[in-house]
Structure 1
């Protein structure tokens, strides 16, 4: 009904990954030629995606007709890879298959061309060489362009650990028959940094989902903490990458993997694993936090940003174990901060601990940065993520703050949008008060900014994924929104679709 609703993060994020797949499929040289041809032919003109893909087909000499289905077909493909290793023949057979779940209006999906970049490791994390079609290599790309295919790698002299989808070579959900021990090998040693990070995310996700379901694996959690500690001690690893290794999957991401989702249980499970890291790695995290302090002049370069990211993440993990030493460390970090990034890092850690030091730092931060609107957006957003039970009350109070303007989209998203999307445990309070607050804001904003109001609706749209009691309350607010007279087309389209989808 409204073209505004078309411009979601999917368009930009998945769109960029689709273009990245072209480079993987046709090679860097042909990709560059295709880009040059596209600009030579279409610079200054309004054109189409069909014309864009055609340039790469001409440059590479490949038929990319099937590739265009990535633009026509909704949903995220599921890629499954199964392994069969024959030690006597030194062969590894890989059976790949793909499915895409039905989506509204597209019950039947056709196979997509999926480039799968892969390599092999041994049990100690060393790279394994192999042969494919008689060619020796240590990495290859398998293109799955049918529902199923198989490929056999030869010269594999010991049982391998599979490192598949390297570099996130396609925007798909990957499942394999790999044992958990294989993911520990990847976390420790995979030369592909995406897969190294993804292995850690998978391990953490499984542990947190198990705990949230009432079956905690404490031995596994301790083993995970030990593995993260080994990764942190890797002197060759970049600090920015180590910061990513310490970042656990978000509560929102975990809710997508749990059916039905229980936000309160997920919140407790995630905090439990963070606390496990804080206690087990206390000495290493403290050493990192102290050793990475930047005593020189601030530098915005990548190296400096990486050190700040790791130092702030180490502090954030430590703050989940809120004893006096860590509380003092967090406040000292904030007071000594010579730049906004470090100040936010200290403030974020203090937010987890709460109490008077946090409130004092909040007031100081506002006074220091009140002349910078984008920084004050961060100040509002940080408070919207506060995990304490009074979170909604704080947010309601901030709507009356002199610096809050609901007609400023950035400020509105920073406070209201962050609370609804970035504070799941408090937004999904069993009372339904968070849902009612969001619906009130949507209806108010819809009167003067329908596009922004429609963007706020997304957290309510996934009501079917949650516990039945929560889902019913969310659905009730959607029904209330749809029933309003003179509702904008923007909001009506998204709300009615959320109610109607089967």
Structure 2
């Protein structure tokens, strides 16, 4: 490995490959100490490619054993081969087949890309560029091929042999070995190739499609875990039915298999017909999985299944179009979860994720458009911008053109581009045609980075009975894009009258209005509502209709009014969040000056009314209690951030809420039915979320009775949701009972890796001065391993991203610790190292002393030699 100085890849330089690959036949001989892969690859020259033009194939740390052309061994002077490149100097003019045999060592593949072993199981991860670690290939998404795979392995070590597509043949191979042949009839890019071989248990089921075809389903896991895959299977079947009903998409193979592995860099992978999952998104039972785990399993199972059409049947032409499959599929899984659970609660949760992950990305050195125009390392562009903001762009498109036109556009996209490697332009053209609308200006959302700000001024003229909104949008400069054009921004609105209902108006002028949506297209719009009887309170961006930062400038009394009365659940929550943020920012400034943060009594009283109203969804009431996090407050402050002052303000507001609302919160706790059976549905999850939020706020006061109650809840908990909530509150409050609870937890669950991750994360996120020493010590714990991405993310990733006061300690020790981990991981798993390094993205926002220490840690990473391309790319952009 070396520090990579290769030139950036540019969208503008795209050109098709000189050769196409109609078919690929793989013969994979799996072995303990070495695996042989023989690939017979059929090539045809594309139109315009000169006869005899050399063929250049990608490789990555490959060891070539032999090479043959049309069955005859190649002469040594007919080709060149290195670890990362194979060149056939003078290919035949007509179609030809190249047979290449490579030798792999999956057991030492710590990068977890290509073919590797996880707990004795052979498995693959090929997105984005992992197939070139298996054989030399034109490893890019616009090369679509039909694959046939023969696998052979020791029958005892790997009784299960799985690959893409449908099973064709299986049998004995002699010497205690056996084989299986799989064929995938649907052309796919190499990044969707997959195989799995191992000694696995399976839960079988079947699904009958809308046309009556029977599909055999299988969820494969390590022995002993089958009892924990029932929910994943149920989520898969619900996903298949929902996609038929919501998008008209029927599954297209005879089998669909899911495999859960313990060592995985990503959440899951949508390989055609053979999804490979991080086991945290498959395994669940009430004793080890929280409600959040169940919701995550449901969403990720759905996401990877939905890729069958939005990603597999229609893939992306190049990696610049990544949002075409990811943003669109995130939108689809969000809609699925909204239909399975509470739509308003799901919307609030998604927006909180967007703001906590994507907004900082948009506002820092790693900002890039939803469709970037250049990259050095594609693994670093699997980002919140591509996924979450990409989904928001799809949602805006649906809001603008309406539900019916959106469905027509999706149907046209599936019809026109099935089997294609498509682009954003291909996608948008379908909706422009379906809606008969010019979407050229809307496409700026794909080209421009940065989060727009929309400033709003209001004026009510009682004599004229008019109400005027002036809306100004600005898009901030971002790296490489100093100047921006205005976006098309849909503003879903309501005018809330004194009785709490939406007011009618006689007409509107000044901007395009489609029903309850104002369409902004220019830097400034003045919108005049006629026939408005009295001054309303504007409820803007209902349902978060656009991924922008609105600055409406409402008074505290107006916000409190919306918090109590807005008919849009999202904006009720938004009003509460805005009020809390106003107090938190003011409190941070006060704490910085040595003052005391204060809470607004009217806000706390309104909050009490809402959370005490048992007519409302408990999950919504729990979200209302969750004030903005410390990282959110730091982002709002912008510059010269002192995390300790932010933490003091955050702590003070929570103490004020817990103290003033003690009667309401105590009533919520008292109403809990401890004998109620656990069900991982929205209703049960909502009730548990509300009870645990109430208990945590009472514990924030530090009262001994509240902490004793938490300790008792921990001991008596019958499910992981309640158990982990109580443990987190005890540890984060530095309660006297915390150490005993931690010991009891690991004694009971020390043999369950996914529970160990929770135990590690609880300690890593504790806002305590001794946390860094504890985290460092835990890296030597027998349950921890830097070789396992889940363990590393749970401990080091949680510390770096979710513990702002300790990661950004004034003495710089938190920065240094994470920098040391990044440098260490860079040698074994650069992809995970780069993801952890992203925690430094907001380093310039700290006050000067912390800023200097963060920069020193970053420069120490940058000085490492050798340095992987993954880490070099992130650190260079972060320091730029």
Give the TM interval when normalised to the shorter protein: over 0.9
Aligned pair partner of 1:231 in 600, 610, 615: 610
RMSD over aligned Cα atoms: 1.7
The alpha carbon displacement at 1:356 in A equals 4.2
Q: Is the 8 A contact 1:347 1:361 kept in 2?
A: yes
Offset of residue 18 of structure 1: 0.5
**TM-score, structure 1 as length reference:** 0.96
| Residue from 709, 731, 747 that aligns with 1:329 | 709
Please, which of 378, 381, 400 is the counterpart of residue 3 of structure 1? 378
Correspondence for 2:827 among 420, 427, 447: 447
Q: Which of 390, 393, 396 pairs up with 2:770? A: 390
5 Å-filtered alignment, 1:202-351, equals 202-214=578-590, 220-258=599-637, 259-351=639-731
Contact 2:765 2:802 in 1 (8 A): yes
Deviation readout 1:139-181 (Å, 9 max, x if unpaired):
7100001111121112211111010000000000000132121
Query: Is the partner of 2:705 in helix, strand or coil?
Result: helix
Q: Partners in 1 of 2:424 and 2:752 — Cα distance? A: 40
Matches within 5 A, 1:423-438: 423-438=803-818
SS of the equivalent of 1:130 reads coil
Higher strand share: 2
Spell out, residue by residue over 1:340-378, the C-alpha distance to the aligned partner (whole angstroms, 9 max, x if none). 111111111211332441111112222322333222211
Structure-2 residue corresponding to 1:477: 857
Give the deviation of 1:294 after TM superposition. 4.0
Equivalent residue for 2:389? 14
Instruction: Give 3-state SS (helix, strand or coil) of 2:610's partner.
Output: helix
1:267 and 1:484 mapped to 2: Cα distance? 34
- Contact 1:37 1:55 (8 Å CA) reproduced: yes
Q: Is the 8 A contact 1:5 1:454 kept in 2?
A: yes
Matches within 5 A, 1:4-403: 4-133=379-508, 140-214=516-590, 220-258=599-637, 259-403=639-783
Q: Aligned to 1:431, what secondary structure does the other structure show?
A: coil
Answer whether contact 2:599 2:653 (CA < 8 A) is retained. Answer: no
More helix by share: 1
Give the Cα–Cα distance (whole angstroms) in 1 for the partners of residues 514 and 446 of structure 2: 32
Distance in 2 between residues matched to 1:62 and 1:217, nearest whole Å = 55
| Aligned 8 A contact 1:161 1:182 in 2 | yes
- With structure 2 as the length reference, what TM-score do the two structures score? 0.55
Larger radius of gyration between Structure 1 and Structure 2: 2
Question: Secondary structure in 1 aligned to 2:456?
Answer: strand
Cα offset, 1:114, TM superposition: 0.2
Q: Per the alignment, do residues 34 and 294 of structure 1 end up closer, same or farther by CA in structure 2, a change over 3 Å counting?
A: farther
SS in structure 1 of the partner of residue 516 of structure 2: strand
1:293, distance to aligned residue in structure 2 (A): 3.5
1:59 deviation in Å? 0.7
Distance 2:567 2:396 in 1: 20
Contact 2:492 2:541 in 1 (8 A): yes
Instruction: Give the Cα separation in 2 of the matches to 1:294 and 1:201.
Output: 31
Query: What CA deviation, in whole Å up to 9, does each residue of 1:119-149 have, x standing for no partner?
Result: 0112453322223349xx9971000011111
| 8 A contact 1:221–1:276 mirrored in 2 | no
Partner Cα distance (1:233, 1:138) in 2: 37
Matched residues in 2 for 1:238 and 1:317: separation?
Answer: 19
How many residues align? The count is 498
